Structures are given as structure tokens and as C-alpha cells.
């Protein structure tokens, strides 16, 4: 039952986005035909009852389930009954004695530990929630059935007036009752004039099959009773149903007839009604809004109708479908990379640097087999005298099947035919939703070619090293200095060499190691950028002066010889601490900061790193002077130490070992500011959301490295 409830919960949460979109559409299309306003609610209903969905490139929903099933699964094959869950929770509290040792570090001693490993706290919660949902569902259905039976009893003594219209003394307002053979019940006191208006309205309901749609809407509400957004959707559905019927009746009436209809509507209005599955009452909901709509009705323009229909179609495409899955795990990604390189090999590969770039359009996984639909760019590059040249390569869509079972992985690759067979072969092997991207692959040519060239740049200019290798180094004697910076580019000179960072792409686009600089006669680099940052002049610091021998073209990513002496057109940085010392120190108390800075559009840009001087912690900071807000970018994100989520530590015994090698800044970046006094960096604590646990961590005072870590209960049992 927990899995059923979890599936419904994820469906309900996903539908919230659609409900919000429909509410906005209602407001924007206020003058659209009212019957069109009912269509989006049908889309919402389909989203709520359909256990599966189609994938679409138009989907704007978040990828994946908000609450995956595995988070509430038991750690054991034993599955407790509900009574065992409650008994365990009552009789096995987790209690800790919390104190301080002689060094001031926080300690805790566990008094009572669970004697079984099968009870995941989230499993207990999901079991209780599942039972609550089932009880609520039964209550909602019982309420609807009892309401229907009460009305049947109340209308049992009705008198047939004509056709399916019945007079009843015990009702205050007209309504329709019944699903298969619906009847229109009206109060006995109604005049013939009132009756004609009521009959027209109720027959409009019957023509629209509203006596089916409203109970169906109530049934969906009963299943998703726990979601406030679905209650709102049901209320608005009932209003739109009534507005649509009113419009159907009065669209051909004169103003006098509309006024008569409005008077009848007011006379039949019900002061207050609770939500129900039935009946369809003439004056049930939104009478004030309905009267205004009737009296102000104007035939909508054609463009409004078209806009309303388009809005419904867009809402369905964006919110009824799921995003296409393009993610694969790291192991599969690595094997895919290897397979593409093997497929592209030629007789000259050994002489050149082979590389590939792929864009995954869709990934389908069934067991150990993953089928990848991708756009593949393969290239082989040569390097001569500082010039990188593409010698061969290809760019085309591919279907690659990867079997990851066992020790010997296997693969199968499909490539499209040439010439006239190209497009037909793609349509045969690719899903329809991917045809356009696969056939028009040229749109991605520049993007993928640039990434391949970057790989070659990094390979040759780093002497075969990778960006992650640089990120794992130590910074050295001093932080990198800013050579140039504007809104789009930051150029840094450090012990690693020279790098060009693209702030729009948040990535390094050019990186030259000191090893490669040594091959062109530069042992100690001094770099000066032109005022616009298009050129970077590279000099060798000889001890007696600067000898400029090379110039880097940043746009074309090429290095050429230079003999023009010290460049006159040069970019100049500012002294950071002389202008903003106090502000910078307050915001970077746990970092080391470079003294050079650049002012850009009211923000100061500077470089900082952790006190352990690790290259992986190197960051570029934009500090807005007016708002005091900071935007931070990791220079080497691939080498950044990834801190596990807080909830992943639940049940771990040796937290100190798990957090070994991390720093205070690493934990703050991943977990947010610690609870309590954020200025304390030698001892800090973080609470695990939606649990009763707190993680306490001690740090070295000098560099902020983790010394020890422990977990305790947020609400310990007080001892005498």
C-alpha cells in the first residue's frame, strides 16, 4: 500500500504545477468562451488518474519523482505490520547523552539503540501516511454516497411534471440527480417563467454530460484529498461548469431575457453549500460572478477563441508530459565515451589526439541494457608549433546500445545512411519526438565542435594533463592574480599557468600549464592583457626583467610569437584591500583572498580559496556593493570535493572518517550555514531536515579542516 500511496503522492505533486498553470490561464483568458475554460480541468484530471505519461521535449516539469520509492524502502527483507511499526516507535526511542569533553568538543553517548535494522524512519512515516490516506479516501467516498442517498430519499415523493422534470416539495433549489437516467428536480413553488429558465440551464448540463463530469471530478478529489491544490481545482471546475452552462443558455438571449434569467438565478441561489459530488444545482456556486457574466456577456472574438485553444494545447504539452530522460550513470557514461572513441578510430589515430562530444537526446534503460539516442561529434587533432588543427572527424546522430552486465561489457552502434537514406533511416531508428533534432544536427555543429577543440587545447597545452589534474594540485605560494576581467571573461595567472574562464558558460575555455609554457621558453610566467581582454601577452620573468615572447589570441585560442616589448595597451586591476578591506574580511572570514580586484557594474570581482590552499577550492567571486550579495563560481568544479547530503549520514557509525578531507567551507557550501552562531568555525552543527538528528563537527582552527564529527538527537531525553 505504501508504494501505491507514494505513486499517488508523486502524481499529485506533479499535478500541482498544472493546476497553477490552469489558474493562470483562467485569469488570462477571462473573456474566452466559458466552455473552453473547462478543458484545462480535464487535462488536470487526466494527469491525476493516469499512472503513466508520455515524454516530450516541451515538458517543463522537474525530472524524476520528488519522492523516489527507494527512500522509504526497508533495509531488510522483513516487512513489519502496521501494529509492529507503532509498537516499535513507542518502545524503542533513540536517546543520547550530550556533553563536552576536556577539549571543549561535543560528545554524545547512545543510551538505547534500535535492536533491528529494518525500520527506516521514512518507512514508518510512509506507512502511517498510507493508512491516513486510505481512511480519508473512505470518508470522502462515504460522504458522496450518503449525500446521494439522502437526496434520493428526499425526492422519493416527487411528482412528474413532464418528460424528466419532477416537482418536489422538500427542496429549495433545482438540481439534476442520477447518472444513467438523470432527472431534473425543481421546487414545487416555481412559476412557469422561472421553470423555463431552469429547464434550459439543466438541459444544457445534460447536453454537456456534466452529470458525469462532476461526480468523476469528485472521485478524483477523493483520491487526492490530501492535496489543497486539487481542492482548489475542484472548486474552480464546479464554477466553470456553471458558467459554461449559463453561457450556452443565454448566448442567443436578448438583454431583457438575460435580466429575467439573472433574477431567477438570484431567487434560486443557495446561501452556503459544502462540496459534494452531486447534485448539479441551478444556484449552487458563484452566483454573484455568474450574474455579472450573464449581464455582461459578449460574443468572444475569433482571436480570443484561437488563443484559448492554443493555451490549452500548450498547457497539455508542457505539463501533461514528462521530460525526456537524458541522464545515465557515471559508469555508463564512461563506457559510452570509450565506445564512441573506438568507433571513430582510423589508421592515423595513433598520431593524433582523438576526442568526442555527445549530446544525449534520450536514454532508455531496461535492466543492465541502456539504449542511448545521441548526437555524436568525433574529431582527431594534430599539434605543430603552437597550432592545433583538426585532421579528420564526423558529426552525426547515433543509436548506441550498451550492455553493462557482467565483466565484459558489450555494445552495438547504429549510424544513419548517407545521402537520400539519411533522413528515412533516422525516422526508422529514432523516436518521433527526436526526429527534428537528429535530422537537423547541423544546428549543434558549432557547439559540439567547440567542445572537441577545447579538449584538444587542454590536452596539448597541458601536455596530456586534464583539467581535474590541475584542480587536484596545491595553489602554491600565492593565489592566482587577475590578468583581465569583464562581465563575460576572467583570465587568471597562477602557479598552474594561465587560464581563461568564460562566465557565461561557467567553464574554463583555455588552460595552459607551466609544463607546456616551458616548451616555448617561459619558465616563470608574467601575463599582461590588453584593455579589452582580446589578447594576453606572455612574458618570461628572467630575474633582470620581463621578456615578452608570445601572445595569446583569446577569441581564436591560438598562441603566436611576439616581439613588441612591454605592451602599452594593458588592463589594470585595483588594490582590493585598500578600498574594501573591512567588507571583504567580514564576508570571507574562512577564506584566503587575493589582493587584486576589478570593479564591474557596481560589483567587485576577486579570487579566493580555502585556507588549506587546495586548487579545487579556487573560486571567482562577484560581490555586489549595493546589495552586499555574493555570486560565487568554482574554477575547477570537476575537482571540487562533493559533500554527501545530510540525510545520507543517518545510520553511519564513523562520521569522522566519512568527512575526512573536507573543510568548513565545503560543508557550508553543501549544507548551508550551521545552526546557532555562524561565526564559530571550530565547532558547528547542522540539523537534518525532517528528522530528529543533528550533526556536530569540529574543525582545525587554522585551515578549517574537519577533525571529528558526531550525530545526536535534536530532542535528547533529559536525565536527572
Contact yes or no for 621/630 (Cβ under 8 A): yes
Give pLDDT, residue 561. 82
Identify the burial level of 678 via C-beta atoms within 10 angstroms of its C-beta, where 0-12 means exposed, 13-18 middle and 19 or more buried.
Answer: exposed
pLDDT digits 0-9 by tens, 374-432: 999 999 998 876 678 899 999 999 999 999 876 668 889 999 988 889 999 999 999 88
Q: Which three cell numbers stand for residue 28?
A: 488570462
Higher-confidence position of 95 and 686: 686
Choose the weakest-confidence range: 122-131, 312-321, 462-471: 462-471
Give pLDDT, residue 534. 92
Q: How far apart are CA 603 and CA 605, in angstroms?
A: 6
Angle between helices 302-315 and 2-28 (to 10 degrees): 160
Q: Which three cell numbers stand for residue 457?
A: 587545447
Give pLDDT, residue 89. 54
Contact yes or no for 706/697 (Cβ under 8 A): yes
Higher-confidence position of 123 and 23: 23
Three-class DSSP category at 209: coil
How many residues are recorded in the chain? 720
Most confident range, picked from 244-258, 416-430, 628-642: 416-430
Give pLDDT, residue 83. 57
Most confident range, picked from 1-5, 52-56, 65-69, 499-503: 499-503
Q: Which long-range contacts (CB under 8 A, 24 or more apart) does 268-273 make?
A: 268/173, 268/174, 268/194, 268/198, 269/173, 270/172, 270/173
Give φ, ψ of 279 to 5 degrees: -95, -175
pLDDT digits 0-9 by tens, 76-122: 444 455 555 555 555 555 444 445 455 444 444 544 444 444 455 66
Residue 612 has pLDDT above 80, yes or no: no
Residue 291 has pLDDT above 80, yes or no: no
Choose the weakest-confidence range: 26-40, 91-105, 289-303, 535-549: 91-105
Q: Measuring CA to CA, how many Å separate 142 from each of 92, 130, 277, 385, 506? A: 37, 18, 11, 83, 57
Q: How far apart are CA 394 and CA 418, in angstroms?
A: 13
Report the chain's mean pLDDT, rounded to a whole number: 80
Give pLDDT, residue 355. 92
Three-class DSSP category at 56: strand
Identify the burial level of 497 via C-beta atoms within 10 angstroms of its C-beta, where 0-12 means exposed, 13-18 middle and 19 or more buried.
Answer: buried
User: b/e per residue, 433-466, with b = 16+ CB within 10 A?
Assistant: bbeebbeebeebeeebbebbbbbbbbbbbbeebe
Identify the burial level of 385 via C-beta atoms within 10 angstroms of its C-beta, where 0-12 means exposed, 13-18 middle and 19 or more buried.
Answer: exposed
Residue 719 has pLDDT above 70, yes or no: no
Q: Measuring CA to CA, how many Å separate 447 from each of 358, 441, 450, 556? A: 11, 11, 5, 15
Give pLDDT, residue 718. 41
Give the pLDDT band of residue 647 (cuts 50, 70, 90): confident
Q: Which three cell numbers stand for residue 216?
A: 468523476
Q: Which three cell numbers stand for residue 690?
A: 525532517
Give the pLDDT band of residue 527 (cuts 50, 70, 90): very high
263-292 mean pLDDT = 65
Give pLDDT, residue 408. 65
Give pLDDT, residue 120. 58
Choose the weakest-confidence range: 98-102, 202-206, 279-283, 408-412: 98-102
- Nearby residues of 675 by Cβ (< 8 Å), 6 or more positions away: 685, 686, 687, 694
Q: Give Rg (Cα) of the chain.
A: 35
517-527 mean pLDDT = 79
Higher-confidence position of 295 and 141: 141
pTM, 2 dp: 0.48
Amino acid at each position: 500500500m505504501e508504494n501505491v500511496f507514494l505513486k499517488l503522492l508523486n502524481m499529485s505533486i506533479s499535478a500541482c504545477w498544472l493546476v497553477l498553470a490552469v489558474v493562470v490561464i483562467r485569469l488570462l483568458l477571462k473573456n474566452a468562451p466559458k466552455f473552453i475554460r473547462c478543458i484545462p480541468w480535464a487535462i488536470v484530471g487526466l494527469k491525476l488518474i493516469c499512472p503513466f505519461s508520455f515524454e516530450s521535449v516541451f515538458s517543463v516539469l522537474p525530472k524524476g519523482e520528488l519522492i523516489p520509492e527507494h527512500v522509504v524502502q526497508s533495509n531488510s527483507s522483513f516487512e513489519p505490520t502496521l501494529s509492529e511499526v507503532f509498537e516499535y516507535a513507542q518502545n524503542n526511542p533513540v536517546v543520547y547523552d550530550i556533553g563536552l569533553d576536556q577539549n571543549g568538543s561535543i560528545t554524545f553517548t547512545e543510551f538505547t539503540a534500535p535492536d533491528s535494522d529494518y525500520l527506516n524512519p521514512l518507512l514508518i512515516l510512509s506507512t502511517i501516511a498510507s493508512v491516513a490516506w486510505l481512511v480519508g479516501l473512505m470518508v470522502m467516498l462515504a460522504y458522496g454516497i450518503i449525500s446521494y442517498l439522502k437526496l434520493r430519499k428526499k425526492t422519493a415523493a416527487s411528482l412528474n411534471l413532464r418528460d424528466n422534470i419532477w416537482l418536489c416539495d422538500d427542496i429549495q433549489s433545482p438540481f439534476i440527480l442520477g447518472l444513467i437516467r438523470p432527472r431534473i428536480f425543481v421546487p414545487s413553488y416555481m412559476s412557469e417563467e422561472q421553470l423555463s429558465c431552469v429547464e434550459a440551464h439543466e438541459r444544457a448540463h445534460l447536453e454537456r454530460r456534466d452529470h458525469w463530469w462532476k461526480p468523476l471530478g469528485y472521485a478524483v478529489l477523493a483520491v487526492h484529498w490530501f492535496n489543497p491544490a486539487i481542492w482548489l481545482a475542484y472548486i474552480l471546475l464546479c464554477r466553470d461548469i456553471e458558467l459554461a452552462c449559463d453561457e450556452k443558455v443565454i448566448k442567443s438571449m436578448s438583454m431583457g431575457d438575460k435580466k429575467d434569467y439573472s433574477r431567477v438565478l438570484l431567487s434560486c441561489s443557495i446561501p452556503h453549500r459544502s462540496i459534494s459530488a452531486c447534485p448539479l444545482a441551478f444556484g449552487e456556486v458563484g452566483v454573484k460572478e455568474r450574474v455579472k457574466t450573464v449581464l455582461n456577456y459578449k460574443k468572444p472574438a475569433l482571436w480570443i477563441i484561437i488563443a484559448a485553444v492554443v493555451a490549452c494545447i500548450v498547457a497539455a504539452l508542457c505539463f501533461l508530459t514528462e521530460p525526456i530522460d537524458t541522464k545515465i550513470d557515471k559508469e555508463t557514461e564512461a563506457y559510452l565515451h570509450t565506445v564512441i572513441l573506438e568507433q571513430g578510430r582510423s589508421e592515423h589515430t595513433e598520431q593524433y589526439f582523438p576526442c568526442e562530444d555527445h549530446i544525449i537526446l534520450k536514454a532508455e534503460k531496461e535492466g543492465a541494457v541502456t539504449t542511448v539516442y545521441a548526437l555524436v561529434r568525433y574529431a582527431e587533432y594534430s599539434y605543430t608549433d603552437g597550432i592545433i588543427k583538426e585532421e579528420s572527424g564526423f558529426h552525426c546522430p547515433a543509436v548506441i546500445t550498451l550492455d553493462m552486465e557482467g565483466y565484459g561489457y558489450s555494445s552495438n552502434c547504429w549510424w544513419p545512411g548517407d545521402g537520400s537514406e539519411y533522413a528515412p533511416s533516422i525516422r526508422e531508428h529514432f523516436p518521433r519526438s527526436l526526429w527534428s533534432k537528429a535530422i537537423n544536427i547541423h544546428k549543434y555543429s558549432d557547439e559540439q565542435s567547440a567542445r572537441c577543440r577545447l579538449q584538444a587545447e587542454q590536452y596539448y597545452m597541458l601536455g596530456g594533463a586534464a583539467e581535474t589534474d590541475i584542480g587536484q594540485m596545491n595553489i602554491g605560494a600565492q593565489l592566482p592574480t587577475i590578468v583581465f576581467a569583464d562581465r563575460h571573461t576572467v583570465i587568471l595567472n597562477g602557479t598552474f599557468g594561465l587560464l581563461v574562464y568564460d562566465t557565461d558558460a561557467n567553464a574554463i575555455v583555455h588552460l595552459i600549464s607551466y609544463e607546456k609554457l616551458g616548451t616555448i621558453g617561459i619558465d616563470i610566467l608574467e601575463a599582461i592583457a590588453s584593455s579589452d581582454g582580446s589578447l594576453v601577452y606572455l612574458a618570461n620573468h628572467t630575474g633582470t626583467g620581463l621578456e615578452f615572447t608570445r601572445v595569446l589570441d583569446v577569441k581564436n585560442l591560438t598562441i603566436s610569437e611576439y616581439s613588441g616589448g612591454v605592451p602599452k595597451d594593458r588592463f589594470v586591476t585595483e588594490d582590493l584591500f585598500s578600498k574594501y578591506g573591512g567588507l571583504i574580511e567580514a564576508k570571507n572570514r574562512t577564506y584566503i583572498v587575493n589582493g587584486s580586484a576589478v570593479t564591474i557594474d557596481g560589483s567587485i570581482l576577486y579570487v579566493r580559496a580555502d585556507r588549506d590552499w587546495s586548487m579545487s577550492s579556487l573560486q571567482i567571486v562577484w560581490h555586489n556593493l549595493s546589495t552586499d550579495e555574493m555570486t560565487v563560481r568554482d574554477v575547477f568544479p570537476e575537482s571540487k570535493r562533493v559533500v554527501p547530503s545530510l540525510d545520507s549520514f543517518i545510520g553511519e557509525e564513523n562520521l569522522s572518517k566519512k568527512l575526512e578531507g573536507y573543510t568548513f567551507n565545503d560543508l557550508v557550501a553543501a549544507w548551508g550555514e550551521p545552526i546557532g552562531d555562524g561565526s564559530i568555525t571550530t565547532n558547528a552543527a547542522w540539523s537534518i531536515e525532517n528528522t530528529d538528528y543533528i550533526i556536530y563537527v569540529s574543525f582545525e582552527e587554522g585551515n578549517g579542516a574537519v577533525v571529528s564529527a558526531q550525530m545526536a538527537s535534536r530532542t535528547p531525553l533529559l536525565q536527572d
